[in-house]
Amino acid sequence: MANRAYKFRIYPNNEQMILFARTFGCVRMVYNHWLNRRIRQYKKNKTNITYTVCAKEMAEMKKTEEYAFLREVDSISLQQSLRHLDTAFQNFFKRPKTGFPRFKSKKNHKNSYSTICINGNITISDGYLKLPKIGQVRLKQHRSVPKGYRLKSVTISQTPGGRYYASILFEYEDQIPEKEMHSFLGLDFSMHGLYRDSNGNEPAYPGYYRNAEKRLAREQRRLSKMQKGSNNRRKQRIKVAKLHEKVPNQRKDFLHKQSRQITNAYDCVCIEDLDMKAMSRSLKLGKSVSDNGWGMFTAFLKYKLEEQGKKLVKVDRFFASSQMCSACGYKNAKTKDLALRQWDCPQCGIHHDRDVNAAINIRNEGMRIVTA
């Protein structure tokens, strides 16, 4: 069995917005309450509290008048909040670098909660999503769900700009036969153009963040000068949030379209296994690396190719793709200078574009890996 998530935008009415806000608040309260409870318990006698104990305590708490408001929201979403807290603690003890669980702030304008499908309490039909305690919420279903997919859970999220989304997780039988590899494509990472392929093409990436940078700075300056708590500041905050949302949405749309075109045309795509985190920390390159979204692009390529039984092959990052001549294999040490964009092979005399030559070498190495 395999899982697949679809993210749809939803349009709740005013009453449903109030119910969503109430659920977000209750989920946050439950998470913070038992995080504090666990911290106090550990300080007292160095013991931990399990999810089962927390769930029993919450069930008793809901019976009291003080916490009667917890009965007004989806009970499964509150249980999921406790599970998320339990998972956060387990991750911390297994991998301390992940950090200790932190309290959720009411001032954070990005909210979410999760609920599980039990006995058909969540359904999709006729452009509406049925949710427990919320009812039928209008849904923009931009793609159809394949037959045989079984709905497992839903995560409702609200962005800082005020938009609502439903991320719906489905389970399905994973029986995709592998295709024979006939057509191969090599991609060489490009700082400003996203990539150059082994056919000499590049997607002419627009650089959405760079284009919006001045406008973002201007609107953020206006926000910083407004009085805290005023209506004008609230409106300006939403305006800035929408601008920040637009840039990644544009980038994601572009990367989805590019990855779909490549997936439909080729059986195997070969790329370098780059350390994007290290590159994004660079003072000179960090902003450009983050703007073009290479990591997101390769993730899109991977799952799209796997859905059709195709492959994404990663070539070792230390493979000398830029130094080797793709025609004769001569290794030119002068190409270590990144300023050298064009060069002629001293051995066979062929003229090379640095990036296209590297993409061809990556493609050839990927073919060797697949056929080995």
CATH number of the domain enclosing 298? 3.30.420
Catalytic residue among 74, 86, 188, 365: 188
**Which among 368, 360, 367 has a CA at the least distance from the CA of 196?**
360
Do 34 and 59 sit in the same domain of this protein? yes
Residue 15: what pLDDT?
Answer: 96
**Pairing status of strand 268-272 against strand 311-315:** parallel
Is 15 labeled as catalytic in the residue annotation? no
Do 195 and 105 sit in the same domain of this protein? no
Do 114 and 197 sit in the same domain of this protein? no
* Residue 85 belongs to domain spanning: 2-172
Residues of the chain with pLDDT under 70: 281-287
In a domain, 220, yes or no: no
Cα angle, residue 327 at apex, residues 323 and 333 outer, rounded to 5°: 20
Residue 193: what pLDDT?
Answer: 81
> What is the DSSP track for 220-286?
HHHHHTSPTT-HHHHHHHHHHHHHHHHHHHHHHHHHHHHHHHHHHH-SEEEEE---HHHHHT-TTTH
pLDDT tens profile 153-179 = 999 999 999 999 999 999 988 777 888
In a domain, 359, yes or no: yes
Do 21 and 132 sit in the same domain of this protein? yes
Rounded Cα distance between 108 and 308, Å, is 40
Catalytic residue among 86, 197, 219, 355: 355
89 in helix, strand or coil? helix
pLDDT tens profile 68-127 = 999 999 999 999 999 999 999 999 988 888 889 999 998 888 899 999 999 989 999 989
Q: Looking at the chain, which runs of residues are DSSP E strands?
A: 2-11, 111-116, 123-125, 128-131, 135-140, 150-158, 164-172, 184-190, 194-197, 268-272, 311-315, 342-344, 351-353
Tell me how long the chain is. Answer: 372
In a domain, 236, yes or no: no
Catalytic residue among 219, 272, 291, 365: 272
- Total domain count, the chain: 2
Rounded Cα distance between 122 and 135, Å, is 9
Do 85 and 191 sit in the same domain of this protein? no
Is 272 labeled as catalytic in the residue annotation? yes
pLDDT tens profile 44-59 = 888 888 999 999 999 9
Is 188 labeled as catalytic in the residue annotation? yes
Q: Is the pTM of this model over 0.85?
A: no
Residue 236: what pLDDT?
Answer: 94
